């Protein structure tokens, strides 16, 4: 399955509304058929959240695997969260790897992000 470029959008914070374009040819790493993008506060991450002090230096990874996007929390201090569908004010902290849909919001530290839906 071919890996398509994606766009990430900041949904909160000082960079709210900023988009980041990511291309498998130039960003992240490819291992077997997986595309791996690292996220954290340090500059050497593929996606660098330098303005959020609640984000760990190496916080999480986005993985393209089996035709789907997955989000993996790599033992971050302040956690990674998704929204509870029943109660938007209840955010669920997860450990390990969970699937994420395009358009679905997730939070790393205090920063909300989403993978833009295809038609954007």
Which one of 17, 25, 26, 67 is in contact with other proteins (CB under 8 A)? Answer: 17
Total of chain residues touching other proteins, rule CB under 8 A: 21
Tokens of 112: 């909300």
Helix locations, 15-86, DSSP H: none
Question: Taking the CB of residue 100, how many other CB atoms lie within 10 A of it?
Answer: 19
> Tokens 């679905």 appear where?
104
> Applying CB under 8 A, does 89 fall inside the site for other proteins?
yes
Burial degree of 62 (CB within 10 A; 0-12, 13-18, 19+)? buried
> Applying CB under 8 A, does 90 fall inside the site for other proteins?
yes
Listed ranges 24-32, 59-67, 84-92, 94-102: which one lies at the site for other proteins (CB under 8 A)? 84-92
Which one of 53, 68, 95, 117 is in contact with other proteins (CB under 8 A)? Answer: 53
- Residues in region 54-83 near other proteins by CB under 8 A: 54
């Amino acid at each position: 399955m071919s890996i398509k470029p994606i766009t990430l959008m900041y949904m909160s914070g000082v960079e709210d509304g900023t988009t980041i374009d990511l291309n498998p040819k130039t960003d992240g790493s490819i291992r077997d058929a997986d595309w791996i993008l690292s996220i954290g506060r340090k500059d050497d991450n593929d996606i660098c959240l330098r303005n959020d002090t609640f984000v760990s230096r190496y916080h999480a990874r986005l993985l393209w695997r089996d035709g789907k996007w997955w989000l993996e929390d790599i033992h971050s201090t302040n956690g990674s969260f998704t929204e509870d569908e029943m109660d938007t004010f209840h955010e669920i902290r997860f450990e390990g790897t969970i699937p994420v849909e395009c358009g679905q919001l997730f939070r790393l530290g205090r920063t909300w992000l989403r993978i833009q839906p295809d038609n954007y």
